[in-house]
Chains A and B, each alone.
Chain A
Amino acid sequence: MSGNHLLEIKNLKIDVRVTKKRRLSIVDTASLIIEPGQIIGLIGESGSGKTMLCRSLVGTLGRRGAYIASGQLKFDGIDLISAKQSVWNEIRGKRIGYVPQSALAGPNPVMTIGAQLAEAILQDENFPKADLEKRSLELLNIVQIRRPETVLKQYQHELSGGMKQRVMIACAIAQQPQLIVADEPTTGLDVTVQAEIMELLKQIRKDFNTSIILVSHDLPLINEICDDTVVMHAGTTVEKIPSKSIKASKHPYTLALYNSRIDLVVPKGQLKTINGQPPSVGSWPEGCRFSERCDFVKDKCRVKQDLPLITIGTSHETSCLRYDEIAR
């Protein structure tokens, strides 16, 4: 049945060349499946490998000296690991749209916004040039940019953070891709703008049946708009769970994330934090990489082994060895 998934990542391992000889794993045993029209939230502490996982989808790991060491990565049946330039030419900007993490620095500083939109639109070689302006304005309208005619002639430094973000989204959706990867599209923006951009992503999914991967640190936000939430910790996916049942998580890390939500803090109560620091790349503990921070840890968790996701319910997978013994 695997042929039907839009995106299928299985036991992906991403290594980075530190020196000529030394290799370091920054993602290991990550798995993720997305169906058409699904919004998946990807959450985890800083450094857990979210951005690297996303980059593997557009083949730009090499820029950071990283590469896929093993595992499977299929987009609509196409093997992306062995993809050649010609395959990427068909995928980048056309079938996968990408809103980079630092979208605030994303637009090209030496091109007008109009030129960049045109670039995105003309990825379709058959697009009639005469309709370029119309389509550009249409895209800017979709992302709710005011005074789109002016913005077309402006440079990125003349735009606010929220506008840049919207421009990046407009470029990403120009070809109505099957998948949009939005890497923290609202970090650094104020709350109202955040909410608007989330609404926008939802609307795009509704209108075009686009699948979306939404990376965020913000659990409430993800809960609100994503169908499923995938939790990453130390380079691996530790749980996949329907967002609405996040409270019924069967992974201590997810629960810890949930309990450290600021919006749960009652006035006199204390903000619960997650024990310790995330283990840093290169010094992950053997066995469960959460073991050093976990309240439920037992000896068997520390035994050297891979911890793949195990299906324990509808759309619910966890990697915790003691999942049936934990409760909130």
Chain B
Amino acid sequence: MLKNQIARTILGRLGRALSVGFWVMVISFAIMRIIPGDPASARLGGVEAEAIAQLRKQLNLDGSIFQQFSRYVTDLLHGNLGISLQTGRTVIDIIGSTLPLTIYLILFSTFFAVILSIPIGTSIAWSGKAPIVYTFRGITAVILATPNFFIAMVGILIFTVRVNWSPVFGYEPEFPQNLKYLWLPVVVNTLIMTSVVSRVIFSSVIETKEEEFVETGIIRGVGRRRFFWFYILKPSMAPTVVLLSYMMGTMLGATVILETIFTLPGIGREMVNAVLTSDYPVVQGILLIFGVITVFLSFVGDVIAYLLDRRVKI
């Protein structure tokens, strides 16, 4: 009966994720069609009508909107996201070559941010000592108020210019070699993420420790370690997990700043380039991928939060 309820809740949430996923698809389809003007003529400028008609066809802009949409969906199901107007590569190919870098960047920095934030957030919240709390609040506020690119540039100044521990530019996509290029952006991103995540854990633990059941744990004589895991950390984790899944989604686009400064060929940069060069199929494809990943992450985040703490409504 219990297992059933869990399954039902998760399935319900999955249903919502799928329907949001559908709308993501509709929006990525609509975006090229709702921008003012005609993408094809905008791109080709004042050339002859034939070429424009040709491009309209290639961009799937001919025929009724329903025909366009059904072609779009059929293509999607065949794994066809179109062809870049700029380079002639398939959009799938472009995503496949730029997305992994960004995912590495996000996964590594999320991992380290969590590893750092848990001890920092919980210990400061638990001690509750005013000077420590003020210092913590101050430092994280400063980091959050500083623009990302500035932190990144300070990092480059120190580690590339001064001590030359990190290459100035370039990238090798294979796993262990890529770390040489990725570690500094990961450090910078970890620093920024840690400031947010540790704050969330901090306030969440502050809230938890006032709760009645925490006192119950003390009165029951629960051992230190158990007490920390089950009475402090676990009840405080749900908001953090939800936040993390959300942050990871938004970072897909936000890492463009880091990718630009560190000249990394990630998907954020690709997206900006595509927008600047009016490469509509690429914009459309990347938007779709961002949307799908974001929807997936928030689904996973919600499910984990729910499994950690059944009070969470998902």
Of A92, A105, A153, A154, the residue contacting B220 (CB under 8 A) is A92
Q: Is B308 a contact partner of A108 (Cβ separation < 8 A)?
A: no
Interface status of A107 (Cβ within 8 A of chain B): yes
- With A and B bound together, what is the CA distance between A185 and B234 in angstroms? 27
Q: For residue B235, which residues in chain A have a CB less than 8 angstroms away from its CB?
A: 108-110
Partner of B226, one of A102, A109, A119: A119
Could you name 18 residue pairs across A and B whose Cβ atoms are closer than 8 Å? A60-B219, A92-B218, A92-B219, A92-B221, A93-B220, A100-B216, A100-B219, A105-B213, A106-B212, A106-B213, A108-B231, A109-B235, A110-B230, A110-B310, A115-B230, A150-B1, A153-B2, A157-B311
Smallest beta-carbon distance B6→chain A, Å? 11
CB pair B310–A123 under 8 Å, yes or no, is no
CA distance A157 to B235 in the complex (A): 14
Given A109-B311, A155-B310: A89 and B213 within 8 A (CB)?
no
Q: Which of A86-123 contact B (CB under 8 A)?
A: 88-89, 91-94, 98, 100, 102, 105-111, 115, 119-120, 123
User: Is A84 in contact with chain B by the CB < 8 A criterion?
Assistant: no
Q: Which residues of A contact B309 (CB under 8 A)?
A: 109-110
Any A CB within 8 A of the CB of B93 = no
Q: How far is the CB of B242 from chain A (nearest CB, A)?
A: 15
From A98, A108, A120, A150, B230 is in contact (CB under 8 Å) with A108
Nearest neighbor of A119 in chain B, beta-carbon distance: B222
* Complex Cα spacing A106 to B212, Å: 6
Contact A110-B219, Cβ < 8 Å, known A150-B1, A157-B310: no
Q: Using a CB-CB cutoff of 8 Å, which residues 120-166 of chain A contact chain B?
A: 120, 123, 150, 153-155, 157
B275 to chain A, nearest CB (A): 44
Q: Indicate if the CB atoms of A110 and B212 lie closer than 8 Å.
A: no
Contact (Cβ within 8 A) B219 A111: no
> Could you mark each residue 1-44 of chain B with 1 if its beta carbon is under 8 Å from any beta carbon of chain A, else 0?
11000000000000000000000000000000000000000000
Task: Confirm or deny: B211 has a beta carbon within 8 angstroms of a beta carbon on chain A.
Answer: yes
Whether A171 contacts B220 in the complex (CB less than 8 A), given A60-B215, A102-B212, A106-B212, comes out as yes
Q: Is the CB of A98 within 8 A of B231?
A: no
A119 to B229, CA, bound (A): 13
B215 and A93: CB pair below 8 A?
Answer: no
14 further contact pairs, Cβ within 8 A, besides A60-B215, A110-B235:
A58-B218, A60-B218, A63-B218, A92-B220, A92-B221, A98-B216, A98-B219, A106-B213, A108-B213, A108-B230, A110-B234, A119-B220, A123-B220, A154-B2
Indicate whether B217 reaches chain A with its CB closer than 8 angstroms. Answer: yes
Taken together as a complex, chains A and B put the C-alpha atoms of A100 and B219 apart, in Å, by 9
A residues near B (Cβ < 8 Å) are 58, 60, 63, 88-89, 91-94, 98, 100, 102, 105-111, 115, 119-120, 123, 150, 153-155, 157, 168, 171
State in angstroms the CA–CA spacing of A171 and B219 once bound together: 11
CA distance A88 to B220 in the complex (A): 10
Assess A111 versus B220: contact at CB under 8 Å? Given A60-B215, A100-B215, A106-B213: no
Within 8 Å CB of B213, what residues of A?
105-109
Q: Which residues of A contact B216 (CB under 8 A)?
A: 98, 100, 106-108, 168
Note all chain A residues with C-beta closer than 8 A to B231: 108
Give B294 Cβ to nearest chain A Cβ, in Å: 27
Is B310's CB under 8 angstroms from A93's CB?
no
Q: Which of A93, A150, A153 contacts B219 (CB 8 A)?
A: A93
A168 to B215, CA, bound (A): 13
B310 to chain A, nearest CB (A): 5
A123 and B2 within 8 A (CB): no
Q: Closest CB of chain B to A104's CB: distance in Å?
A: 9
Which chain B residues border A100 with CB–CB below 8 Å? Answer: 212, 215-216, 219
- Of residues 210 through 264 on chain B, the ones whose CB sits less than 8 Å from some CB of chain A are 211-213, 215-222, 226, 230-231, 234-235
